[in-house]
Amino acid sequence: MYDALILAGGQNNKQLSRFSSQSYEALIDIDGKPMVTFVVNALLQSRQVGRILVIGPARELGQCGFPSSVIIVEGGATIMDTIALGMEALGHSDKVLVATADIPLLTADAVDDFIGQCSGGTADLYYPVVPKEVNERHYPGNQRTYVRLKEGVYTGGNLFLVDPRIVPHCMDLARKIIDNRKRPFKLCQMLGWTFVFRFLAGTLRLREVERRVSELLHIRGAVIQSHYPELGIDVDKPSDLEMVRTAVKAPV
């Protein structure tokens, strides 16, 4: 089993603030509950998750009605600072599952499948991608940031399996990657101009990107292909919020 961190410190952006008065995205209402509670519940139901820490505005998160087993930790100024605080609070060097608070469609099955694919590997960081056709089949019309590679078209997920020991020396570059996560061309520039040209030509392969990122971060990274689109459906614009609210209310 793996302990889990939920990153819940992101402030409500300008687009979503027109649809919710909450100061933090994690607290935006979905079907009468704060968005972060859906992520908490998915992790609680997973067979592979142990302790759960929710990291962000402690006072506000304390009003979410989490089960007593869920631990709330005050977050930092940035995502990487918040991750570092969470790792410190856990106090061990075993791999940790890291999730964002804005993926309310997350399910225990999606979590267990991701962890299952990571099991037995020797990587320091596991990162999921979801094929575009999978996302479109389950959630037609949902707009995501996609990258075209040799094997197909993919969107990134918001669940990671991380070795805490890599966090300190990855902080600076990881911040740049996070800042540009919605800008594929900018990310390719960070990988080098050869990658830019091959990205534009659609000839880059998943394993080549995996290998280059590993070299830049001085870690062993691994890309996991998931067929659970819920890993990648984050709420960062009004159309996402509308779609998620509709999906949550839809009969199973």
Domains in the chain (CATH in brackets) are 2-249 (3.90.550.10)
Beta bridge partners, 96, equal 3, 162
| pTM across the whole model | 0.89
pLDDT, residue 143, reads 85
Q: What is the number of other CB atoms lying within 10 angstroms of the CB of residue 30?
A: 20
Give the pair of three-digit tokens for residue 16: 């979503």
The pLDDT value given to residue 190: 67
Per-residue pLDDT at 21: 78
Q: CA–CA separation, 83 vs 89, rounded Å?
A: 10
Note the pLDDT of residue 182.
62
The pLDDT profile of the chain, 252 residues, written as one tens digit per residue, is: 999 999 998 888 777 877 887 889 999 999 999 999 999 999 999 999 999 999 999 999 999 999 999 999 999 888 888 888 999 999 998 999 999 999 999 999 999 999 999 988 899 999 999 999 999 999 998 888 888 888 999 998 999 999 999 888 776 656 666 665 566 667 666 666 676 677 667 777 888 888 887 887 788 889 999 999 999 899 988 999 999 999 998 665
pLDDT of residue 208: 85
CB 150 within 8 A of CB 205: yes
Is the Cβ–Cβ distance between 124 and 220 less than 8 Å?
yes
Q: What pLDDT is stored for residue 16 in this prediction?
A: 82
Cβ atoms 104, 8 nearer than 8 A = no
